[in-house]
């Protein structure tokens, strides 16, 4: 990769992009449901809640069960009480990601931009040995308010790429809200299909490029043959 034309910064989503959190998140969602007397759901039916802010997902699950929306805080608390332990036991690095991060990191500063609150996200990155790959981790506080991902990404831009054109940076993620955040902030966007979102979702949300395997990610962010990805 040429440093002359490489991105000014690359922002990467966590769940479904760098790590597979399916087991940890679905286990804790079902724990939250059963804590308020609701039936657990099939794992396949919970995958769609991986990525978006937790209070939104819990709200949708309660509505689908015709349960009281006032139970959201109780469910979120139950989830968050269990998650710190379960996430360290059940979250795994997606194969091929460490090598992709090494190539990407040789070209540009990398930062994690996630909707998972920082006190939960950081121990996962530390436990999996990934934290040193990144110059920064940007995440919401632990709060009941669902911070839009564009707000988190804007903070990351100010921190990591302050004063540079957002179009010279790239947002990488597996869901529509990652692509939407990138577009809202003016970054280039790369969608990855090994997480919870499929190609149709990512293209529909405005992904500039979509990749199907981690080894293709560095080339999608910056291809020496076709030049830097730019909006
Ligand atoms: Mg994700």
pLDDT in tens, 81-100: 999 999 999 999 999 999 99
More confident residue, 231 or 37: 37
State the distance from the centre of ligand 1 to the C-alpha of 66, rounded, in angstroms.
Answer: 27
Return the minimum-mean-pLDDT range out of 9-18, 23-32, 108-117, 138-147: 138-147
Q: How far apart are CA 84 and CA 55, in angstroms?
A: 17
pLDDT of the residue at 92: 95
State the distance from the centre of ligand 1 to the C-alpha of 177, rounded, in angstroms.
Answer: 9
Nearest to 120 by CA among 137, 101, 134: 137
State the distance from the centre of ligand 1 to the C-alpha of 116, rounded, in angstroms.
Answer: 9
State the distance from the centre of ligand 1 to the C-alpha of 142, rounded, in angstroms.
Answer: 18
Return the minimum-mean-pLDDT range out of 51-60, 108-117, 140-149: 140-149
State the distance from the centre of ligand 1 to the C-alpha of 195, rounded, in angstroms.
Answer: 7
State the distance from the centre of ligand 1 to the C-alpha of 210, rounded, in angstroms.
Answer: 14
State the distance from the centre of ligand 1 to the C-alpha of 50, rounded, in angstroms.
Answer: 6
> Could you give the residue ranges of the DSSP H alpha helices within the chain?
22-35, 43-46, 54-64, 72-90, 97-105, 118-127, 149-160, 176-185, 199-204, 217-221
State the distance from the centre of ligand 1 to the C-alpha of 178, rounded, in angstroms.
Answer: 7
Q: How far apart are CA 167 and CA 31, in angstroms?
A: 41
Strands 110-113 and 222-223, bridge-based pairing? unpaired
State the distance from the centre of ligand 1 to the C-alpha of 192, rounded, in angstroms.
Answer: 9
Mean pLDDT score of the chain:
92
State the distance from the centre of ligand 1 to the C-alpha of 127, rounded, in angstroms.
Answer: 19
State the distance from the centre of ligand 1 to the C-alpha of 163, rounded, in angstroms.
Answer: 27
Give residue-wise pLDDT tens across range 166-209. 999 999 999 999 999 999 999 999 999 999 999 999 999 999 99
Does residue 193 come out as left (phi exceeding 0), alpha (psi in the -120 to 50 range) or beta? Answer: alpha
Please report, rounded to a whole number, the percentage of residues in the chain having pLDDT higher than 90: 84
pLDDT greater than 60 at residue 109: yes
Whose tokens are 């970054």? That residue is 187
Q: How far apart are CA 222 and CA 231, in angstroms?
A: 13
Please measure the distance between the N-terminal and C-terminal CA atoms of the chain and give it in whole angstroms. 19
């Amino acid at each position: 990769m040429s440093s002359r034309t490489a991105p000014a910064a690359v922002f990467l989503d966590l769940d479904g992009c760098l790590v597979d959190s399916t087991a940890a998140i679905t286990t804790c969602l079902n724990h939250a449901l059963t804590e308020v007397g609701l039936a657990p759901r099939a794992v396949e039916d919970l995958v769609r809640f991986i990525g978006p802010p937790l209070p939104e997902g819990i709200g949708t699950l309660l509505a689908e069960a015709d349960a009281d929306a006032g139970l959201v805080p109780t469910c979120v608390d139950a989830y968050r009480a269990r998650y710190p332990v379960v996430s360290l036991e059940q979250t795994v690095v997606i194969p091929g990601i460490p090598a992709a991060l090494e190539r990407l990191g040789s070209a540009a500063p990398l930062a994690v931009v996630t909707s998972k609150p920082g006190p939960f996200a950081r121990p996962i990155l530390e436990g999996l040995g990934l934290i040193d790959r990144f110059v920064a981790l940007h995440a919401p506080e632990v709060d009941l308010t669902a911070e839009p991902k564009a707000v988190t990404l804007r903070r990351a831009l100010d921190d990591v790429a302050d004063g540079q054109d957002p179009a010279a940076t790239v947002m990488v993620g597996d869901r529509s809200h990652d692509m939407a955040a990138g577009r809202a902030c003016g970054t280039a966007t790369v969608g990855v299909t090994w997480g919870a979102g499929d190609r149709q979702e990512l293209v529909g949300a405005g992904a500039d490029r979509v990749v199907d395997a981690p080894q293709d990610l560095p080339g999608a962010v910056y291809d020496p043959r076709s030049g830097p990805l730019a909006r």
